[in-house]
Chain A
Amino acid sequence: MLDECMTNSDVVLDVQDLVVHYELKNEVVKAVNGISFTLQKGRSIGLVGETGAGKTTTALAIMNLVPKPPGVVKSGTIDVCGYKMLELKPKQLEKIRGKEISMIFQDPMTSLNPVISVGEQIAESVKLHENVSASEAYDRAIEMLELVGIPGERAGEYPHQFSGGMRQRVLIAIALACNPRILIADEPTTALDVTIQAQVLNMINDLKKQFGTALIMITHDLGVVAKMCDDVAVMYAGRIVEKGTLEDVFNDTKHPYTEGLFNSLPDITKRESELKPIPGLIADPTKLPEGCAFAPRCQYATDACRERPPTIHQISPTHLVECTAYDNPGFQIEGWQNHG
C-alpha cells in the first residue's frame, strides 16, 4: 500500500546522479547534469543559484512533473520515502503527489484555477487522498485557510478576490492540506512585496515546525536561505558546486561561485561602496564546456579547471565542494570582501 512512508529511516528524500535534459528541435538544453543530495525528516535544505541553474527542473523532476516532451530524465534515481519516483506508473504517482510530497510555485497570481472557489481547490486535494466525504473535506479546507491566516468564511470566494500574498497562502494551504512529508517551495516569495515576504516565510516556518515537514526551499535570495534553511546546496549550470550545512556554506565558504554570490550582495551599511558583481554571463546550458562550467568567470581558474570536470572534495562530513582548485591543498579563496 502506498499509504505510509515506505522507510522508517530518517531520510525522506534521496536524489542520486540526476540528469535532466530538454531535447528541442535544434539543440539540447542540459538543465540538470548529475546532482545528488539527501533530505532528512523535518529538516530544510535551500537550493540556491541564479536563474537557469536548474533548480526548478530539479524540483519538477522530484515530483516527476517535468513536461515530457521536450524534457527527458536521462539518468538518476529519486527516492521519496522509499518510492522510486522515476519508475512509478502515473496512477501511483498521482497518489503520492499532494500526499507525501507537495510543491508550491513561484507565481501565485496564475497558480490558482480562476473558476473554482479557493475552498474547493483545497478540498479537492483532501478528497483525492483521504477517505472522507465532500463536506468533511470542505471543513478541512476551512481549517487550513484559518491556519494560513485567512478567515474561513472566505472559502467560497474566488482567486480573483484575493491579493497576491493571500493567494500564495492559499497555495500553501493546498500544499499542506494532506500533511505531506516533503514540501518543495519554488521561489515562493519572489513575486511578493518585501513585507509580505516576511509574513509568508514566517508562516511556512511555523507550519513546518508544527507538522514536521521537510522543506526544499528554492531561491536565489541568500537572505531567505539564512532565515529558513538548515542545509544549503549551491547550484550552477545544473551541478551542485557546494553543499553543506548553513554554517559550512555561509561561514566557511569554499567555492568561488558561492563567494561571488556573497560578494554581490549590497551592504546596506556601506552606502558609498561599489557593487561587486560576478563578471561574465551565466553558462549557456546548450553549450556547456568540457571542464568546469564556472571556469570562464572564475578568477582562480587554471588550465586544469578548463580541461576536465572539476574534482569533488569532501571538506568535512557535511561539507562538499566541486572545485579543481582545491587539488592544491594550500588553495584558499579570498572570502567575503569588505567592499570599498
Chain B
Amino acid sequence: MLRYAVIRLLWLIPILICVSLIIFVLMDAAPGSIIDSMINEEMTQEDIEELKREYDLDKSVFYRYGKYMLGLFRGNLGSSEISGLSVFDMYKTRFPKTLELSLLSLVLGTLIAIPMGIFAAKHAGTIWDNLTTAFTLIGLSMPSFWLGLLLLIWFSHSIKLFPAGYDGTWKCYVMPVIAGGFSMSASITRQTRSAILDVVRQDYLRTARAKGVPEWRVTVKHELRNAWIPIVTQIGMMLAMTMAGSAVIEAVYSWPGVGRLMIEAINQRDTTLACGCVILTATLYVVLLLLVDIVYAFIDPRIRAQYSAGRRKKRRAEA
C-alpha cells in the first residue's frame, strides 16, 4: 500500500507540469495581459514598451514558462506580478478559510444526504422517493450563488439574523455553509440512493436475514458497508471540487478564500499567481483523491488485496 501511495504521488510531477503549461498558454492566448490593468491613459507608447519589458512580455511565452519552471523546481512559487506578494503566502493565508467552508459544507451535506438517500432507496417507487428526487433535482439545478443570494436577502436583510459578509464570528459561517452544503447534499443523496438500491438486491442480504439479523443491522452493517464505495467516491470528488475554490460562494459572501484569489488573478492576468494557485489546488486534489483511495482499502478488503498485489495471499483453489 505504501508503494501504491508513493507511485500516485510521483504522478504529481507530470500532472503539475502539464497543468502549469496549460495555464501559461491559456493566459497568454487570452486577449490582454497583466500590464493592461496597470495602463492608464496618460502613458505613452514607450512607457508601455518599457512596462512590457519589465514583465518579460516582449519575450515568448515559453521563455516565461521556462523561467517560471526553473523557479518552481527550486521550490519557489514566485510572487504575484501585481502585488509583489509571495504567491505561497497569499495562498496560505486564504486557504484555511476555504478549507473551513468546504469541510463544514461537506459535513452538513453528508449528514443530510446519507440518511435521505437510504430513506429514498428503502421507499423506492413511493411518494417519499419522489419527494426526495424532487429535492435532489432542485439542489442540483439551483445555482449555489442564487441560493447564497437568497439566504443573504432573507436572513441578513429581511430578518437580521446573520451578518452579510465575513466578520470573524461563528455567525458568518452559517449561510455560506448552508448554501454550499445544500448543493453538495443533492448529488450525494442521489449517489447514496443508487448505491443502496444496487446493494439492496444482493443475495448476501438474504443470507443475513435468514440468519436472523435484525433489519436495522442489515441496513447498517451489511448494506451500508457495501454501499460506501460509490458514496465515498462522490464525497471525495465533492470535497475536491469545493476546495478548488467555491469561488461563487466566496464572491457572494466576500469570503477571503482561494476561489476568489484565483478569479482575481485571472481577471488581472496575473499569470504567476494564477498558475501558483492552480498548482497548489491540483496538488491538493491529487492528495485528496489518494486519501479517498486509501479509505477504500479500509472499507473493501477486495481492494486492499489489490494494493498488496505484490504480496501473495495464498489462494487455495481446491474446494
Tell me if chains A and B make direct contact, with any CB pair below 8 A: yes
The chain A residues found within 8 Å of chain B, CB to CB, are 63, 65, 90-91, 93-99, 102-103, 105, 107, 110-117, 124-125, 128-129, 157-158, 160-161, 163-166, 169, 171, 174-175, 192, 196, 199-200
Q: Is B210 an interface residue (CB 8 A)?
A: yes
Contact A164–B319 (Cβ < 8 Å): yes
Contact B226–A114 (Cβ < 8 Å): yes
Question: Which residue of B has the minimal Cβ distance to A108?
Answer: B203
Contact B214–A111 (Cβ < 8 Å): no
A114 to B207, alpha carbons, bound, how many Å? 12
Contact A113–B204 (Cβ < 8 Å): yes
A169 / chain B contacts, CB cutoff of 8 Å: 319
Question: Which residue of B has the minimal Cβ distance to A169?
Answer: B319
Contact A171–B212 (Cβ < 8 Å): no
Contact B319–A196 (Cβ < 8 Å): yes
The chain B residues found within 8 Å of chain A, CB to CB, are 202-204, 206-215, 221-222, 225-226, 299-302, 305, 313, 315-319
Shortest beta-carbon contacts, A-B, top 10: A165-B319, A98-B212, A97-B212, A98-B211, A110-B203, A158-B301, A113-B204, A94-B212, A103-B210, A125-B211
A115's partner among B211, B300, B315, B319 (CB-CB below 8 A) is B300
Contact B302–A160 (Cβ < 8 Å): yes
B211's partner among A114, A164, A174, A199 (CB-CB below 8 A) is A174
Contact B213–A94 (Cβ < 8 Å): yes
A192 / chain B contacts, CB cutoff of 8 Å: 319
B222 / chain A contacts, CB cutoff of 8 Å: 113, 116
A103 to B210, alpha carbons, bound, how many Å? 6
A161 / chain B contacts, CB cutoff of 8 Å: 305, 313, 315
State whether A128 and B212 are in contact (beta carbons under 8 Å apart), knowing that A114-B301, A114-B302 are contacts in the complex.
yes
Contact B211–A97 (Cβ < 8 Å): yes
A166 to B319, alpha carbons, bound, how many Å? 5
Question: Which residue of A has the minimal Cβ distance to B303?
Answer: A115
Contact B211–A160 (Cβ < 8 Å): no
A175 to B212, alpha carbons, bound, how many Å? 11
A129 / chain B contacts, CB cutoff of 8 Å: 212
Question: Which residue of A has the minimal Cβ distance to B229?
Answer: A115
B210's partner among A98, A113, A158, A196 (CB-CB below 8 A) is A98
B215 / chain A contacts, CB cutoff of 8 Å: 90
B213 / chain A contacts, CB cutoff of 8 Å: 94, 98, 124, 128
B300 / chain A contacts, CB cutoff of 8 Å: 114-115
A103 / chain B contacts, CB cutoff of 8 Å: 210
Contact B209–A174 (Cβ < 8 Å): no
A174 / chain B contacts, CB cutoff of 8 Å: 207, 211
Contact A163–B210 (Cβ < 8 Å): no
Contact A97–B203 (Cβ < 8 Å): no
Contact A163–B207 (Cβ < 8 Å): no
Contact A115–B203 (Cβ < 8 Å): no
Question: Which residue of B has the minimal Cβ distance to A113?
Answer: B204
State whether A115 and B225 are in contact (beta carbons under 8 Å apart), knowing that A96-B212, A105-B203, A125-B211 are contacts in the complex.
yes
A112 / chain B contacts, CB cutoff of 8 Å: 204, 207
A125 to B217, alpha carbons, bound, how many Å? 12
- Could you list some 11 contacts between A and B, CB below 8 A? A93-B212, A95-B212, A97-B209, A102-B211, A112-B204, A113-B225, A124-B213, A125-B212, A128-B211, A175-B210, A192-B319
A129 to B317, alpha carbons, bound, how many Å? 33
Contact B208–A65 (Cβ < 8 Å): no
A199 to B319, alpha carbons, bound, how many Å? 9
Most buried by A among B207, B210, B225: B210
Question: Which residue of A has the minimal Cβ distance to B299?
Answer: A115
B226 / chain A contacts, CB cutoff of 8 Å: 113-115
Besides A105-B207, A107-B203, A157-B313, 16 other A-B contacts (C-beta < 8 A): A90-B215, A110-B202, A111-B204, A111-B207, A112-B207, A113-B222, A113-B226, A115-B226, A115-B302, A116-B221, A116-B222, A128-B213, A160-B301, A163-B316, A171-B207, A196-B319
Contact B209–A65 (Cβ < 8 Å): yes
A91 to B301, alpha carbons, bound, how many Å? 32
A199 / chain B contacts, CB cutoff of 8 Å: 319
A93 to B319, alpha carbons, bound, how many Å? 33
Question: Which residue of B has the minimal Cβ distance to A157?
Answer: B313
B301's partner among A96, A102, A115 (CB-CB below 8 A) is A115
A196 to B225, alpha carbons, bound, how many Å? 32
Contact B206–A65 (Cβ < 8 Å): yes
Contact B210–A97 (Cβ < 8 Å): yes
> Shortest CB–CB separation between residue A90 and chain B, in angstroms?
7
> Shortest CB–CB separation between residue B296 and chain A, in angstroms?
11
A111 / chain B contacts, CB cutoff of 8 Å: 203-204, 206-207
A112 to B109, alpha carbons, bound, how many Å? 32
Most buried by A among B211, B302, B315: B211
Contact B202–A102 (Cβ < 8 Å): no
A124 / chain B contacts, CB cutoff of 8 Å: 208, 211, 213
B203 / chain A contacts, CB cutoff of 8 Å: 105, 107, 110-111
Contact A114–B214 (Cβ < 8 Å): no
> Shortest CB–CB separation between residue B108 and chain A, in angstroms?
27
A167 to B245, alpha carbons, bound, how many Å? 48
A91 to B214, alpha carbons, bound, how many Å? 7
> Shortest CB–CB separation between residue A186 and chain B, in angstroms?
10
A21 to B162, alpha carbons, bound, how many Å? 58
Contact A94–B214 (Cβ < 8 Å): yes
A192 to B319, alpha carbons, bound, how many Å? 10
B225 / chain A contacts, CB cutoff of 8 Å: 113, 115-116
> Shortest CB–CB separation between residue B233 and chain A, in angstroms?
16
State whether A163 and B317 are in contact (beta carbons under 8 Å apart), knowing that A94-B212, A94-B214, A98-B210 are contacts in the complex.
yes
A117 to B304, alpha carbons, bound, how many Å? 13
B301 / chain A contacts, CB cutoff of 8 Å: 114-115, 117, 158, 160
Contact B208–A113 (Cβ < 8 Å): yes
A114 to B299, alpha carbons, bound, how many Å? 10
Contact B210–A114 (Cβ < 8 Å): no
